[in-house]
Structure 1
């Protein structure tokens, strides 16, 4: 696994909620999505309801954009989404958070899995967290240098 891919997978472990932008007939639309799994091959898995506008958009145009952020790291990516009718995968990924949105459980016919194959990703990370961010901001003010972040691009 490349350093960029390893860093991407590591950052994504701490970024469970992101914004997914679909490109439907009415233009771009972003919705919050809870990421269930990140594969080292740069696949992301989501559980969602089949009867949603974002699923309709993905069926029409599979190109999506995803962004995830925390106080000290940010990831932006583009990819191709696919609705996956795989009951075994749905059961594997199922959790109480999914049940809050789909109370019928993985057997609910409206429950479906979205897989996003990442085409390109970019990340920015401030190693050391909040304290390192404060120090970097202070350094920027004192020296005029730019803000210190670990930046990388991933093209699977």
Structure 2
């Protein structure tokens, strides 16, 4: 198995427990960050989000499609960059719709204010501290005692 393939598989594994991202847009008012729920279960080079049409981030993407996404769990972190696009596709919206989206946008996928954000991922990085809290604590102690670096797995993936 290639190193690149192993890194992709590791990224997919880590993201299973990371449904919420902090998305940063770079519109005319400068960087703006906000939480967004990822809709697809399996991360790929294409990520989907449901949002309201009349929001600052939708306007920002219209000005500059570059976005950054950060995900985290208790002991792992993922950072991605890519290009976002606003997609007005009712069939895809219906396919991705869930009760979480309903809480933010009542009326279901037919709500005229509901729209999709598709992010085409250009690069991704992850950091993982396998073993959870105990392993992280032991690694921290080892770092303090020996001066070695903290034991965390790091990888960069380009789709």
TM-score category, normalised to shorter length: over 0.9
Q: CA deviation at 1:113?
A: 1.0
Instruction: Say whether 1:104 aligns with 2:107.
Output: yes
Q: CA deviation at 1:41?
A: 3.5
Instruction: Say whether 1:120 aligns with 2:126.
Output: no
Structure 2: runs of 5+ lacking an equivalent: none
Aligned ranges 1:42-121 → 2 under 5 Å: 42-121=45-124
Moved over 3 A (4+): 38-41
SS in 2 for 1:46: strand
Decide whether the 8 Å contact of 2:15 with 2:43 is kept in 1: no
- Aligned equivalents of 1:75 and 1:101: distance in 2? 25
What is the TM-score of this pair, normalised by structure 2? 0.93
Q: Deviations over 1:79-134 (max 9, x none)?
A: 00011111121111111111110011111011111111111111100111112111
Equivalent residue, structure 2, for 1:5: 8
Instruction: Say whether 1:142 aligns with 2:138.
Output: no
Instruction: Say whether 1:31 aligns with 2:54.
Output: no
Q: CA deviation at 1:38?
A: 5.2
Equivalent residue, structure 2, for 1:133: 136
- Aligned equivalents of 1:72 and 1:16: distance in 2? 15
Instruction: Say whether 1:15 aligns with 2:55.
Output: no
Q: Deviations over 1:3-46 (max 9, x none)?
A: 11111111111111111100110111111111111555421111
Decide whether the 8 Å contact of 1:122 with 1:154 is kept in 2: yes
- Aligned equivalents of 1:24 and 1:4: distance in 2? 32
